[in-house]
Structure 1
Amino acid sequence: MNENFLHPLFNPRQVAIVGASNTPGKIGYSITQNMLEAGFKGKIFPVNPKADEILGLKVTKNIKDLPKGLDLAVICIPREFVISAIEELGRIKTNAAIVITAGFKEVGREGYYLEEKLIQLARKYNIALLGPNCLGMINPHGLVNASFAAGQPKQGNIAFFSQSGALCVAILDWAFGENIGFSKFISLGNKAVLDEADMIAYLGQDDHTRVILGYIENVCDGSKFIKLAQNVSFKKPIIIIKSGTTAAGAKAASSHTGAIAGSDQAYSAAFQKSGIIRAHNVETLFNLAQAFSNQPLPQGANLAILTNSGGPGIMAADACEKSSLHMASISPSTVKKMQEFLPPYASLYNPIDIIGDAGAKRYIRTLKTLVEDPNIHSILVLLSPTSKAADEIEEISKGIVYIAHKANKPIFACFMGKNRVSVGQKILQDGGVPCYAFPEPAIKSIEAMYKHYRWKTHPCPLPVELPRNKAQAEKVIQKARDLGQNEIVEFQAQEILKSYNLPIPKTLLARSSDEACQFAAQIGFPVVLKIASPDISHKTDVGGVKVELEDEKEVRNAFLEITARAQRLRRDAYILGCLVQEMAPKGCKEIIVGFKRDEQFGPLIMFGLGGIYVEVLKDISFRLAPLTREDARNMIREVKSYMLLKGFRGEPAINFQVLENILLTMSQLSMDFPEIFEAEFNPVLVNNERAIVADVRMTLA
């Protein structure tokens, strides 16, 4: 879908309103009125078989009488007439349509089939169709308001699309109150044809759009979404709210990975992979929108804080330390300049505290000096309404706006309070300087801009492909399929691990206690015994694991105990015997590596420390396959328990490279075999020298 396909939707020369009405309060009346009040320069064709004139416009009685090659039709008629209307619009070669009408797939079975028919017709006649069940679309720069929303938004550089029409209404009302303008305002509705990915692609090419905002409940096509968003996010920031953050209703999972890797983790990983900035609430969405739409990106992490009060300065410094930003080191030349005009008891070393009696001259001169310091990449100006600052708040605010327009680095403000600072807050907002009531959201906005700068300037690494024998692994999977298995358990999966060159412990399958003793001596004591059965995946549930077996007597007893207990607890299970394995080396950390195949985005790779870290603390990280080396490296470093891997209180650091390779191999395996629904290496035992995949299981789709 190219840009030209959507051009008639957003920039029509002729608009037909099918279902236009003379009755105030009806949707057909509101849309017609909005188009007129927007100042639309093209032709408007109200379509209504029972009227002659609507709001001063001559009425067209039938769709077939509309001009051929019509740019846009807005449909707001009862559901039962929509399909025939689209058919007629297709015959006159209409380019785009907005279906306002509700009652399609959102209401159940009958509506679902009607929407499928709508999709078929749109594709048959090549109509760019928005909706159904939507509020419409507004293009303030094109003087188009093909919606039934109240009011006309002003022109701006922020584009917004949403699945929720009600949220569109609320956002518009909020924007009027904050004097915020839009480049495009789009209600997606049911997304029968045009979806969020299409909007992102179009807005990425739109000259009027600087920032793309979105509210989504689901994604229609995961791979398309990631590809298009990734292309656009290198040019413009994409900031999205995703609702429905739980995995409720997901398929039951048999592994730790499957149980933990819900839909929200998949969306977060998809956003990360495509460079999308995620906002968790509407307030953050528009905090970020105002920051990105008005300020240049910071060229580095160094933040300077200018304040007239110590407490707020410390709060801002604390928030900075918790972020990926750094408190800038003020250069000696800047300190020397400030010493010339600041009181001797002012603090010059960040936060720069110009103290409570600071007025406009002191604020403006200090800010000008900080802007010139090359060590500083962004500046946050804090103001508490002391008597002097409150008296001169207009002059201070105008001075900040003037300097911000001249500066080549972002300047943010935080005016703490309400009544005494409201005048200054409005001057700043109108002047394009983001102003916040508290330091923490200001720091979060600056951090988001810095991360976006890094994303744009950071080369996109390629996924790693490690050597493997795919054909050998395929034989194991096919054999399990032939046997009717939906799981591949450890003794079978060992062959897959070997074909992918993964480090595995010395392992032999013993079918009797005598064989177990023989193999244990061959491997070398101490050893581990594990139940071997294609029907038992959770070995510990049947007491099927014994460790630290030091001699033949312990091995024999363990074999007999494990197999007898398994047969008693799982009478349906086919017991082959026991796996005899070497013990892991001393000083190993327990790691879990897994993946679950997400319905929309594909394999979601998981990493975490084993034991309580994954079971209770959920200390885990996620990425979508395929992984790059950098992805693997960052996954390991993101977990809170990373310091335990790095070495703590004299312990040596683990071998990170071998652990990265295991993550990359899991990614490769997930991409090679779509028939594997989920897989888990648990535990992976790793020390400063080597790693061993001590246990593995896979579930087939």
Structure 2
Amino acid sequence: MLDAFFQPNSVAIIGASSTPGKLGYTVLANVIESGFRGGIYPINPGATEIYGHQAYASVLDLPEIPDLGVIVIPAKYVASALRDCGEKGIPAVVIITAGFREASVEGAEREAELIEIAKQYNIRIIGPNCLGLIDTYTPINATFAAGTPPQGKIAFMSQSGALQTAILDWSLATDDLAFSKFVSLGNKADVSEIDLMEAWADDPDTRVILAYVEGVPSGQKFMQVAREVSRKKPILMLKSGVTESGSRAVSSHTGSLAGSEAAYDAAFFQSGILRMDSLQELFDNARAFANQPLLQGDRIAIITNAGGPGILATDMLERKGMHLARFEKETTEALNAVLPEAASAHNPVDVLGDALADRYAKAIEIVAKDPNVDGLLCIVTPQAMTDVPATARLVGEMCEDIDKPILGAFMGGARAKEGEDILATYKIPNYKFPEQAASAFAAMRDYRIARDRPDAEYVTFDVDKEAVEETFAKVRAEGRVQIGELEAQAVGKAYGIRLPGSQLAETADQAVEIAGKFGYPVVLKIASPDILHKTDVGGVKVGLQTAADVRDAFDLIVYRAQRYVPDARIWGCLVQEMVATDGMEVLVGMSRDAQFGPLVTFGLGGILVEALKDVTFRVAPFGKQDAEEMLDEIRAHSLLRGVRGKPPADREALAETLLRIGQMVTDFPEIVEMDINPLMVYDSGRGAIALDMRLVLKS
């Protein structure tokens, strides 16, 4: 529990100053001016009184044990101050000071010392290199920010303190962006997103959790905790560093290791986290979650005094997979009875440009009662006759008795601002443009789906782990980490992956003999631990019909391999039975992400995978529903269901293959890369067969 941070009985500011403009002065002033009701202890050996409070030389001299310490002294003295906190018994410390891991090698060593001290004394740390923290309900503002945000239901954590100062300033300029908690994580030497999600899961003052992250720790634990917390309240996250240059910036900014873009997408989805694409989207959606009841469906009614904005909202709703509500006959009749003849009683409801507040009120009252309506969007453009304040006030009063989410789009500038302020008093979020409101509705729909998604149904297959261990031991004994097709087939077989009959031929004569056993036609592939992409060196021949074909192909393949990769170890050729070619080529692969672990890939296979990159991902282990969903997430999913007379693919066999691979890469964390390309999948009931498979082990 992190109660000592957010509900301390008293706080010590180590490095408090009486000089305005200094960090220690600002932090102390913020604590005092935020209305904190507990004891406040400035720590400064050179002062006896600061800002009206008795000062002390050390926390060891305090008359009581504070719950919270805030350190704002130079980096080289922080370790000593933290040790004093430990000796005193202070359980929670915010280290605002910079100059640690983010700054230099020496700073990283200092941070490591802080971690050791914290472990020794069982202290929880937020920071270092952070803005501090705010709890608007305690209340306490232990930051060096310029002001305290309005009290609300949004809990916000961020790795960037500078970003938070801008958000804070934004909140002070508006009435509907209000916070319960406001925490700068800094370098995350101890307290991380995981800890705060757990702490805020049951916080009665918080309805929605927001986070700006540059990297996350302990990926698998992060996913587990996020899944549990997202069942209780929405988690919205903005992940930066998603481009190559952005990733480099992350490392230089906080020293965080940025995981791959695909891994974050998969991990957030599997955890029930809603991933945001921008700060604007993050806070637009947060305001809807914080102030309105949860959307129970995806059917939205639009009430507007202008046709254009209503159409824009409709377009955005449809792009987001939402629907315009279809009114009951009684609803349309009731609207026709109260609206002018030129108005539209169908969705979007156009109350016309001369509509006053009472016309909006009548339309809202009627539409809100329709059982087909899950949410309402009220659009107001400031036309000549529009009474914006009166309309906002009447809409707000009516909506207090409606248990469906209502969002406003009072458009414009100066005239819209008064209406926006009035709506805020009724907890109705207002958006400058109707598309923003439509997107917020979509986010509410997405959260409901994510929250109600059943827990993963894990499947465990009976496999031969010992056979895999023996193969890996042999490979490592030879000083290799790359596993070619011959050995990879043994691994696949041990995990129940269906494979074509194959046998190694060291000579052309052996190849002919093996081919005779399999029956023609056959396939020949170069067998070398140093050549994984066989087609790149002309190392594959298919459809060989005779012994002469096999003999000629063997000699040609070996010659090409020796020519293009002269240092490669050549074991011979793999003779493989020719499988039916009437299936569809897909890819199943895995790469091990630095943050989240095994990231399993599914998509179109063969040469198409590089050209089209039509793939989807899951972090293993994953359940049966995830495997089935992956089949529908690629752009070419319709091909798997059958098109132009072709029968549907064996989806059950595909899903089982994904689950078996997920189990394999979870069982063996030393596998860092793996792919089956192509996996030939046939029509329903005929299964799937791995035509080529390779693995790479951790070096």
TM class by shorter chain equals over 0.9
How far off is 1:613 after superposition? 4.5
8 A Cα contact 1:68 1:93, kept in partner: no
Equivalent residue letter for 2:178? G
The 5-angstrom pairing of residues 264-663 of structure 1 reads: 264-388=261-385, 391-611=386-606, 613-663=608-658
After superposition, residues 139-158 of structure 1 pair within 5 angstroms as 139-158=135-154
Cα 1:147–1:176 change in 2 (3 A) is same
TM-score, scaled to structure 2: 0.94
User: What is the rounded CA distance, in whole Å, between the counterparts of 2:181 and 2:591 in structure 1?
Assistant: 37
Task: Determine which of 89, 95, 102 is the counterpart of 1:106.
Answer: 102
1:44 to 40, 43, 47: 40
Q: What SS is found at the alignment partner of 1:157? A: strand
Tell me, what secondary structure is at the counterpart of 1:422? helix
Give the one of 76, 80, 84 matched to 2:80. 84
User: Does the 8 A contact of 2:527 with 2:572 survive in 1?
Assistant: yes
Following superposition, the deviation at residue 426 of structure 1 comes to 2.7
Counterpart contact for 1:247–1:264, Cα < 8 Å:
no
8 Å Cα contact 2:150-2:171 kept in structure 1: no
Shift of 1:83: 1.1
Deviation at residue 561 of structure 1 after TM alignment: 0.5
1:667 aligns with 2:659: no
Displacement, 1:637? 0.7
Structure 1 gap ranges (5+): 252-260
Q: Once the two structures are superposed, what CA deviation does each residue of 1:391-417 show, in whole Å capped at 9, x if it has no partner?
A: 222222222222332211111122333
Q: Could you report, residue by residue, the CA deviation over 1:563-617 in whole angstroms, capped at 9, with x for unpaired residues?
A: 1111222222221221222333233222111111112211111111124643133
Change (3 A) 1:17 1:262: closer
What is the CA–CA distance in structure 1 between the aligned matches of 2:435 and 2:246, rounded to whole Å? Answer: 35
- Contact 1:247–1:263, Cα closer than 8 Å, also in 2: no
1:186 aligns with 2:183: yes
1:363 is displaced (CA, Å) by 1.8
Report SS of the residue matched to 1:574.
coil
Q: Is the partner of 1:409 in helix, strand or coil? A: coil
Write out per-residue CA displacement over residues 442-485 of structure 1, whole angstroms, 9 at most, x where no aligned residue.
22211111121122233313222223222222222222122222
Distance in 2, matches of 1:687 and 1:613, equals 18
Q: Which residue of structure 2 lines up, in the alignment, with residue 123 of structure 1? A: 119
Moved more, 450-459 or 556-565: 450-459
Q: Secondary structure at the match of 1:141?
A: coil
Do the aligned residues in 2 keep the contact of 1:312 with 1:382 (CA within 8 Å)? Answer: yes
- CA 1:525 to 1:310, structure 2 compared with 1: closer, same or farther past 3 Å? farther
Cα separation, partners in 2 of 1:75 and 1:397, compared to 1, 3 Å: same
Partner SS for 2:331: helix
Q: Distance in 2 between matches of 1:63 and 1:380?
A: 55
Match in the other structure for 1:72:
68
Residue of 80, 89, 94 corresponding to 1:93: 89
Cα pair 1:52 1:58 within 8 Å, conserved:
yes
Alignment of 1:252-263 (within 5 A): 263=260
More deviation, 647-656/612-621: 612-621
Q: Using the alignment, how far apart are the partners of 2:112 and 2:496 within structure 1?
A: 48
How far 1:515 sits from its partner (Å)?
2.8
Using a 3 Å threshold, how does the CA distance of structure 1 residues 67 and 246 change in structure 2: closer, same or farther?
farther
Going from structure 1 to structure 2, the CA distance change for 1:77 and 1:673 (only over 3 Å counts) comes to: same
SS at match of 2:400: helix
The alpha carbon displacement at 1:125 in A equals 0.9
Partner residue of 1:214 out of 211, 216, 219: 211
| Aligned-partner SS, 1:103 | coil
1:509–1:577: 8 Å Cα contact kept in structure 2?
yes
Amino acid at match of 1:354: V
Pick which of 559-568 and 541-550 moved more.
Answer: 541-550
Structure 2 CA distance, aligned partners of 1:311 and 1:525? 68
2:126 is aligned with 1:137 = no
- Counterpart for residue 257 of structure 1: none
Which residue identity does 2:160 align to in structure 1? Answer: S
Give the root-mean-square deviation of aligned CA atoms.
2.0
Residue pair 1:246, 1:262 contacting (<8 A) in 2 also: no
Local SS of the residue matching 1:578: strand
**Could you say what secondary structure the match of 1:205 adopts?**
coil
Distance 1:439 1:450 in 2: 17
The alpha carbon displacement at 1:298 in A equals: 1.2
2:16 counterpart residue number: 20
| Distance in 2 separating the partners of 1:124 and 1:474 | 40
Given that residues 158 and 181 in structure 1 are in contact (C-alpha distance below 8 angstroms), is that contact kept between their aligned partners in structure 2? yes
- Structure 2: which amino acid aligns with 1:199? L
CA distance in 1, matches of 2:348, 2:517: 67
| Alpha-carbon offset, residue 38 of structure 1 | 1.1
- 1:209: how far off? 1.1
Deviation, 1:549, is: 2.5
Amino acid at match of 1:44: I
Q: SS of the residue aligned with 1:428?
A: helix
Change (3 A) 1:100 1:519: same
Name 1:60's counterpart in structure 2.
56
> Take 1:402 and 1:612, find their aligned partners in 2: how far apart are those partners?
61
Displacement of 1:385: 3.1
How far apart in 2 are the matches of 1:262 and 1:512? 46
- Following the alignment from structure 1 to structure 2, what is the Cα–Cα distance between the partners of residues 172 and 55? 24
> Structure 2 CA distance, aligned partners of 1:151 and 1:436?
25
2:222 to 204, 214, 225: 225
- Which SS does the other structure have where 2:137 is aligned? helix
| In 2, Cα distance between equivalents of 1:675 and 1:146 | 45
Q: Distance in 2 between matches of 1:193 and 1:542?
A: 51
Give the whole-Å Cα distance in 1 for the aligned partners of 2:580 and 2:243.
Answer: 39
SS, match of residue 454 in structure 2:
coil
* Structure 1 equivalent of residue 253 of structure 2: none
For residue 345 of structure 1, report the CA deviation from its aligned partner. 4.2
Query: Once the 2 structures are TM-superposed, how far is the Cα of residue 342 of structure 1 from its aligned partner?
Result: 2.6
Indicate the residue corresponding to 1:254 in structure 2: none
CA contact (8 A) 1:158 1:210 kept: yes
Aligned residues between the structures: 686
SS of residue matched to 1:363: helix
SS in 2 for 1:105: coil
Q: How many Å separate the matches in 2 of 1:495 and 1:358?
A: 75
Distance 1:513 1:344, change over 3 A: farther
Cα deviation per residue 1:150-196 (whole Å; 9 max; x = unaligned)? 11222111111111110111110011112332111111111111111
The 1:334–1:497 alpha-carbon spacing in structure 2 relative to 1, beyond 3 Å, is same
Q: Counterparts of 1:384 and 1:129 in 2: how far apart (Å)?
A: 49
In structure 2, relative to structure 1, the CA distance for the partners of 1:416 and 1:498 (3 Å cut) is same
CA distance in 2: counterparts of 1:262 and 1:49, whole angstroms? 45
CA distance in 2, matches of 1:321, 1:250: 33
